[in-house]
């Protein structure tokens, strides 16, 4: 499994207020999308999320989003190492993702760009 990078997940009350700060901080424009009622803005290494508290409560349990070359390869490796696949792999607007709980209880999202 090849790890390409990671994004820090940040839940914010007001996405519109938060985006300009992170755009200046990261030196790049936000890529925005919506998923399951949650508004998301990807800015550099930051993944800002805003929406209903019930949805955010679940999202807060995911420590980070890890970009990988191939989610299917990540799925095989994680399973071999004893991780529990919580969700996925599934297609997303930007590629594929899965959510895995590592043996130590940490939860991570793994994403690719369509392999």
Contacts of 4 (CB under 8 A, 6+ apart): 67, 68, 69
Question: How many C-beta neighbours within 10 Å does residue 96 have?
Answer: 21
Q: Which helix (H) or strand (E) holds 53?
A: helix 53-59
* pLDDT tens string 76-96: 999 999 999 999 999 877 789
* pLDDT tens string 59-78: 899 999 999 999 999 999 99
CA distance 113 to 96: 6
Q: What pLDDT is recorded for position 58?
A: 86
Mean pLDDT calculated for residue range 21-29? 96
Roughly how many angstroms between the first and final C-alpha of the chain, as a whole number? Answer: 12
Helix (H, G, I), strand (E, B) or coil at 75: helix
């Amino acid at each position: 499994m090849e790890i390409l990078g990671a994004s820090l997940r940040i839940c914010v009350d007001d996405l519109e207020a938060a985006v300009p700060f992170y755009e200046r901080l990261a030196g790049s424009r936000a890529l925005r999308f919506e998923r399951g009622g949650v508004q998301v803005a990807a800015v550099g290494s930051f993944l800002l999320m805003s929406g209903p508290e019930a949805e955010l409560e679940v999202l807060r349990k995911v420590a980070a989003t890890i970009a990988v070359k191939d989610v299917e390869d990540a799925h095989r490796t994680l399973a071999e190492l004893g991780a529990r696949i919580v969700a996925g792999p599934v297609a997303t607007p930007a590629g594929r993702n899965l959510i895995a709980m590592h043996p130590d209880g940490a939860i991570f999202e793994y994403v690719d760009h369509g392999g």
